[in-house]
Structure 1
Amino acid sequence: VTAIERDRRCLPALAELSEAFPGQLKVIEGDALELPLASVMSGPCHIASNLPYNVGTALLIGWLSGQDWPRLAMKVHRSAFTPPPKVMSAIVHLTPAAMPEGIKAARLEAITAAAFGQRRKMLRQSLKGLPGALAALEAVGIDPARRAETLSVDEFLAVARAMETA
Structure 2
Amino acid sequence: MSAIDGLPPLREVIATHGLVAKKSLGQNFLLDLNLTAKIARKAGDLTKCDVLEVGPGPGGLTRGLLAEGARRVLAVEKDARAMAPLAEIAAHYPGRLEVVNADALEIDPLEHLTPPIRIVANLPYNVGTELLTRWLTPPSWPPVWESLTLMFQKEVAQRIVAQPGSKTYGRLAILAQWRCDARIVMELPPEAFTPPPKIHSAVVHLTALPEPRFPANAATLQKLTATAFQQRRKMLRASLKGLHPRIEDLLESAGIKPTSRAEEIGLEHWCALARALDAA
Shorter-chain TM-score bucket reads 0.7 to 0.9
Q: Match for 1:119 among 229, 232, 250?
A: 232
- Select 2:184's aligned residue among 72, 83, 101: 72
Query: 1:85 is matched with which residue?
Result: 197
TM-score (norm 2): 0.53
Letter of the 1:60 counterpart: L
Unaligned runs of at least 5 residues, structure 2 = 1-72, 142-178
2:266 to 133, 149, 152: 152
Give how far 1:142 is off: 1.8
Are 1:127 and 1:133, in contact at CA under 8 Å, matched by a contact in 2?
no
Residue 250 of structure 2 contacts residue 276 of structure 2 at CA under 8 Å; is this kept in 1? yes
Which of 253, 257, 264 is the aligned partner of 1:139? 253
Distance 2:214 2:186 in 1: 33
Contact 1:132 1:163 in 2 (8 A): no
Which of 89, 107, 124 matches 1:52?
Answer: 124
1:108 pairs with 2:221: yes
Structure 1, residues 82-116: CA drift from partner, whole Å, max 9, x if none? 21111111111012233246422222111111111
User: Is the 2:77–2:102 contact (alpha carbons within 8 Å) kept by the matching residues of 1?
Assistant: yes
Unaligned runs of 5+ residues in structure 1 are: none
Aligned with 2:106: secondary structure? coil
> Could you tell me which amino acid in structure 2 is paired with residue 80 of structure 1?
A
**3-state DSSP of counterpart to 1:53:** coil
Q: Within 1, Cα distance between the matches of 2:111 and 2:242? A: 33
Q: Counting strand residues as a fraction of each chain, which structure ranks higher?
A: 2
Give me the identity figure in percent: 46
Question: Residue 81 of structure 2 aligns with which residue?
Answer: 9
Q: State which drifts further: 7-16 or 126-135.
A: 126-135
2:200 is equivalent to residue 128 of structure 1: no
Distance in 2, matches of 1:116 and 1:95, equals 25
* Residues 96, 131 of structure 1: alpha-carbon distance in 2 compared, 3 angstrom cutoff: farther
Structure 2 vs 1, CA of residues 60 and 152 (structure 1 numbering), >3 Å: closer, same or farther? Answer: same
Shift of 1:80: 2.4
Deviation at 1:40, TM superposition (A): 5.7
TM-aligned CA deviation for residue 133 of structure 1: 8.0
User: CA separation in 2, counterparts of 1:39 and 1:164?
Assistant: 35
SS of the residue corresponding to residue 9 of structure 1 reads helix
CA distance in 2: counterparts of 1:17 and 1:106, whole angstroms: 41
TM-score (norm 1): 0.85
How well do the aligned residues superpose, as a CA RMSD in angstroms?
2.4
Between the aligned partners of 1:156 and 1:77, the Cα distance in structure 2 is 35
Q: Secondary structure at the match of 1:95?
A: strand
Q: Tell me the amino acid that sits aligned with residue 189 of structure 2.
A: H
Query: Aligned partners of 1:36, 1:106: CA distance in 2, in Å?
Result: 22
1:46 and 1:112 map into 2 onto residues whose CA distance is 28
How far residue 38 of structure 1 moved from its aligned partner, in angstroms, is 5.0
